[in-house]
Amino acid sequence: MSTYGKCLVNIPDDKGVHMKSAGAKGEKYVYKYVKYFRNSDGTTRNKAKAIGKFDPDSGKMYPNSNYYKMYHLEPSLPDVSFWDYGYSYLVLKACRDSGLFDCLSQVFGGQAMDIVMMAAYIILEGNAMDGIDDWQQRNYFP
């Protein structure tokens, strides 16, 4: 559920990494060649995957999931100066005290915390789930 759009990383300096402009705005994206081959005419061809979006201000890129898969990295938590944990602590304590969390854990296993987190978001924001990624980055759930 987490997004990687908030963190900047250095553009990899290895073979096959290049930039292309795309879209009507001409935004630059960072690609990495993943396959080299010859077509039926014998012309050399290649296949590339996007690994992030270029940030012209910093000279770095915003990585996407392909970047983490290709370079075998785990996404890190964004740098934040503080976490909102009061509300999440209250919701989790209420779920544990009432036995709801135990019931959810027995039925859904490891997804119980995700269910509690989504319910907390809907109760607090009173909104559809479209903003949960940003909310999740600001709030702490163990």
Summarize pLDDT for 7-35 with one digit per residue, the tens: 888 999 989 999 999 877 888 999 999 99
**Residue 52 structure tokens:** 């992030």
Helix (H) or strand (E) holding 47: strand 44-55
Nearest CA-CA partner of 20 in 38, 46, 40, 41:
46
Domain spans of the chain? 1-78, 86-138
Confidence of residue 78 (pLDDT cuts 50, 70, 90): low
Q: Buried b / exposed e across 11-32, counting CB within 10 Å, b at 16+?
A: bbeeeebeeeeeeeeeebbbbb
What CA–CA distance (Å, rounded) separates 14 from 82? Answer: 35
Residue 24: which region, alpha, beta or left (left: phi > 0; alpha: psi -120 to 50)?
A: alpha
User: Is the pTM above the cut of 0.85?
Assistant: no
Q: Which amino acid is at 77?
A: L
Tens of pLDDT, residue by residue over 39-67, are 999 899 999 999 999 999 999 998 988 89
